[in-house]
Structure 1
Amino acid sequence: MKPIAMQAQLIYGALYREIHQKKKKEREMRFKFICDKVRFSMGEFAVIIGLRCKRDNNVNKFAKKENAFMEKYFSDQTITHIAVEERFFHNDFKTDDFAVKMVVLYFAIKCLLSRLPSKKVSDGLINMVGLGEFECFPWDKLVYDLTICNLRTALREKYKKRKSIDPGGKGKGKDKEKEKGKGTRAYKLRGFALAFQAWLYEMLVVLKKVVYCRYDSESV
């Protein structure tokens, strides 16, 4: 299987074509590509990701449930995304059970629920994995909510600028504001944006008419 890479240009172009609805539905997004309108919702996401989307997806119910996995690997530190990554790469696992659980946790925080490395991982998530509940847990809802929330706010983050106050009141602060704002027009996609990208490729019949999505028809 060939490596799968994020196509930032494709996602960026699509987000610019979002239709802003008067009665906005928080759990779906609509886009317009030339004359065609398409919808990205839980249904489309579920087809792409193929994980469970029924039952209660509240991980907080596992927050206070003790388990050996949590005690062995994370009892002595603040559990951040980078801490899980370090445990994954540098620990020796004496049992296959613990090894599998660490793989599941690493995959969850790096792929399905990706966030900044410094962000804390919830105790509920770690305990849910540690208790072996991950196979029947409805990941789809949890992952979709984080993904759709960040897709909605991605372009807003792109244009945030750090402001500086002009202490002298004579316009000196403008240069500082310009200098600080330089290089800050960027955003990060959190959650499982790869599923959104896969859905966009399913829309190639529409997207092939758009300038930003050129491709070699013989290789597709």
Structure 2
Amino acid sequence: MDAESSIKRRHDPVSMETMGDEGSKSTKRKDVVDSSISEASLLSIEKRRKVIDVSSVSKGKNVVEDVPSKAGESRFFLKDPPTHSVHMSCNTNVEVFKDLKDKLTDKQHKIFGETCFGVFTQMQHCYVQAQILRCCMVRELIESTPDAFLIDINGNELRFSIREFAIITGLKCVGDEDAFKVNCKGRNRILETYFGGSKKIPSKADLIECFTDKNWGLNDADAVKIVVLYFIHTYILSNEKNAVKIPRLHFDLVESGRYVDYPWGKKAFNELIKSMTHKMTFEKKIYRLHGMPLAMQVWLYECCSFVDATLVVKTGNNIPRMLNWMTIESQPSFKELMDGMFKEDNTPVKCCTQHCYISFLHVFKFLLFLYFIF
């Protein structure tokens, strides 16, 4: 067991960054680092000891004080979860792969399969079971940040960060988004040909209409470009249909081909975490999930020691992990989930390589995967 844990730590995508030369210096710096951390922690605790988030209280959020938890004190963001019915709104188009088969020719579908998003065409049918995300928000810990969503299940703390998101989705999650910004005053052929000119900012609804009507005709190259935009904005970045405008940058990236290098995973992760972290209140009745909720849902499947086979089944052991799961019941109820996957019965939660299990037979494949996405 120790040997297995050691190997997993060596192949952990974050741990690897601190190995090598730094390992030889860690012992020498230990006392200095420990001392610095202790002093900084004490100072931070003293400053925050009696501070309460007044704005959160005024909005009806039942939160705990931002101080270290005492024995037996709740660390949950919500002390008392809402008892009324809560609606979770999600606009992920889980039928996108059926849409592609219906609208594209065999040649066009093959070209899309060779893009950086082509691996998703191997997905099993997987619904967004939105009440799972509600369960996560109910079990959210106060320590959640914009960089990581923390939950507690059966006394086990689980952390969903961009590393877990990358392993689950395979999307590129590193890179500076600002480095891709260009002069948007120039002409864009896709905008001029299909959306009424470069000065108009199309909405998501306009993009869906263009895809549905197959406005590209017999132009295979343009067909794939429209499909890439459609896939990004209906599956990876799931936002409301009529309220969202497609950024001009996205059209420029697709037209130039630079979209393959853009950190779509980073953007989707940030939008998802922003829509969930510290958002649930006792009174609110509707929550809108953005980004890619399926990533957190599949991550939870991978973490849980018990997954009800009437809800979802595992069909493989591939990378990225999203390819391995097929939902059986599309929309399980909140009570059904809290009495099942989230039940407080002291069942241990599987926590391998930051909650994403990687067997010995897949270590080499996993490292190759990380090499290409990072």
- Fold similarity call, TM over 0.5: yes
1:18 touches 1:30 (CA, 8 Å); kept in 2?
yes
Residue matched to 2:154 = 34
Q: Deviations over 1:73-100 (max 9, x none)?
A: 1234541111110011113323211111
3-state DSSP of counterpart to 2:295? helix
Q: Deviations over 1:142-167 (max 9, x none)?
A: 111111111225525x844xxxxxxx
Residue matched to 2:251 = 126
2:148 touches 2:160 (CA, 8 Å); kept in 1?
yes
Cα 1:70/1:153, change in 2 over 3 Å:
farther
3-state DSSP of counterpart to 2:215? coil
Q: Find out whether 1:146 has 2:307 as its counterpart.
A: no
Residue matched to 1:201 = 301
Q: In the alignment, which of 276, 281, 286 is matched to residue 186 of structure 1?
A: 286
Cα 1:95/1:126, change in 2 over 3 Å:
same
Residue matched to 1:43 = 163
Q: Deviations over 1:113-156 (max 9, x none)?
A: 11111211111112211221111222111111111111225525
Cα 1:86/1:63, change in 2 over 3 Å:
farther
Cα deviation for residue 207 of structure 1 reads 6.9
Residue matched to 1:117 = 241
Q: Let me know the Cα RMSD of the aligned residues.
A: 2.5
3-state DSSP of counterpart to 2:159? strand
Between the aligned partners of 2:301 and 2:150, the Cα distance in structure 1 is 16
Q: Find out whether 1:213 has 2:213 as its counterpart.
A: no
The percentage of aligned residue pairs carrying the same residue is 28
1:33 touches 1:207 (CA, 8 Å); kept in 2?
no
Cα deviation for residue 58 of structure 1 reads 3.2
Between the aligned partners of 2:182 and 2:280, the Cα distance in structure 1 is 34
Cα deviation for residue 59 of structure 1 reads 7.7
Cα deviation for residue 69 of structure 1 reads 1.5
Q: TM-score, normalised by structure 2?
A: 0.46
Structure exhibiting the larger radius of gyration computed from Cα positions: 2
Between the aligned partners of 2:136 and 2:276, the Cα distance in structure 1 is 10
What residue ranges of structure 1 are gaps of 5+ in the alignment? 161-184, 215-220
* Structure 2 residue identity aligned to 1:125: H
Q: In the alignment, which of 122, 127, 130 is matched to residue 8 of structure 1?
A: 130
